[in-house]
Amino acid sequence: MVCINGVFGMRMKENITRLGGEAVVVEDDWGAAVSLDKVEQTLKDNPDAKILAFVHAETSTGARSDAKALCKIAHDNDCITIVDAVTSLGGCELRVDEWEIDAIYSGTQKCLSAMPGISPVSFNERALTKVKNRKTPVTSWFLDLNLVMGYWGDGAKRTYHHTAPVNTLYGLHESLVMILEEGLENSWVRHQKNHELLRDGLEAMGINFLVNEAERLPQLNSVFIPEGADDAKVRSTLLNDYNLEIGAGLGAYAGKVWRIGLMGHSSRKENITLCLAALKEILDK
């Protein structure tokens, strides 16, 4: 079962289809969190479901779903969970063990501010049991966890599976040291405070958010493009004249919203001050 409330939920479904799986879809409006009630009812309607897959922080809209509650619903219905935490890791509360998330993946390039190219992953015993008891071989050599576990964990022996991206791993290590020095919870607080600073400035200009406040990500801010503003021209001017890049809308919101990222090292007061001043100057012309 896969939850879709934006582009990256759709990507999850696409992966299921490509691997020959059958996806039961729980759909919510883009800009809304995944509905707990819909998930619970759909699981009851599909008692043979084995996996619940969802995006914790939907990068296409800036919506945050309740990962803790979704994992509990899944486990109450004998499902394991697969969670996309690409944008949430380091930027907002995420407690993998406490929330009993079974399988989770993220990216180094968002709130960790490291080089792209590595996907941090975590699997608990429930997930690993499912991996070990597969009836068919994994279609990808590189992504075959049974092979990876041959040299990872207790009793593992040194072996060759792939050439590791050593330089990128050193970069990731340094970014983790920086987060450790700041404190993970402090990083969450910094992202939230900077979001509030950006929010106040944008709302003072009459620019409104796509996602309601209770479900909003602090590190990914989707806002409606003001009436009369030229989407591409504003973004191009920000980039060329102010060295600032904001994201275009995706999917159903292409040309309708801007996505302003406040992730990792870029989540700083001076960046927000510059962004607000630049937007005001451009929109006032």
**pLDDT tens series, the chain, 285 aa:** 999 999 999 999 999 999 889 999 999 999 999 999 999 999 999 999 999 999 999 999 999 999 999 999 999 999 999 999 999 999 999 999 999 999 999 999 999 999 999 999 999 999 999 999 999 989 888 889 988 888 877 777 777 888 889 999 999 999 999 999 999 999 999 999 999 999 999 999 999 999 999 999 999 999 999 999 999 999 999 999 999 999 999 998 999 999 999 999 999 999 999 999 999 999 998
Four-way CATH pick for 2-106+119-164: 3.20.20.70, 3.80.10.10, 3.30.465.10, 3.40.640.10: 3.40.640.10
pTM of the model: 0.95
Where along the chain do its domains lie?
2-106+119-164, 184-284
Burial 76-97 (b: 16+ CB within 10 A, else e): ebebbbbbbbbbbbbbbebebe
| Phi, psi for 2 (deg, rounded to 5) | -125, 135
CA-to-CA distance for 97 and 94, rounded, in angstroms?
9
Is 184-284 assigned to CATH 3.50.50.60? Answer: no
233 CB contacts (<8 Å, ≥6 apart)?
none
